[in-house]
Amino acid sequence: MAQFSFGYPVVAEIDEPLVTKESRENMHDTKSAYSSLSEEKIHRQALGRLHDCFADTFTEYLTSPYYEDKFLSVNEVYSAFMSALTKELNWHQDMADRVKNFKDILNSKG
């Protein structure tokens, strides 16, 4: 017969370690609902952060004068963006090359 506390069935006893946690986890399976909803939500959030970052950058450098009434041109902002992208790509390529060289050394020693 089930035990009752304050009119509700007792799910687990407090004096049994980890039983309460296990009983909560085994109440129902939420893995499928969690994975599909959270992946979509994470994707939307990532796109939102990227949009905000770009919007802040464009607003900062296209509408704010850097000196009195002097503004950066659209081409200058584009060039800076492409330069940063190229620099980032080069850094990742350098890291990949370092890992490959290290692997080659390990393989030659083995």
53 is a domain residue: yes
25 is a domain residue: no
- Range list of H helices, 1-110: 19-25, 31-63, 74-109
pLDDT of residue 15: 60
Name the residue among 51, 47, 56 with its Cα closest to residue 77.
Answer: 56
pLDDT digit string, tens, across residues 13-60: 566 655 555 666 666 665 655 556 688 899 999 999 999 999 998 888
Identify the residue whose tokens are 């990227």.
50
3 is a domain residue: no
AA identity, residue 82: M
Give how many domains the chain has, as a whole number: 1
Q: Which residues make Cβ contacts (< 8 Å) with residue 50, sequence separation at least 6?
A: none
DSSP code of residue 74: H
77 is a domain residue: yes
More confident residue, 60 or 6: 60
Asked if residues 77 and 61 have their Cβ atoms less than 8 Å apart, the reply is yes
Domain hosting 87: range is 32-109
13 is a domain residue: no
61 is a domain residue: yes
21 is a domain residue: no
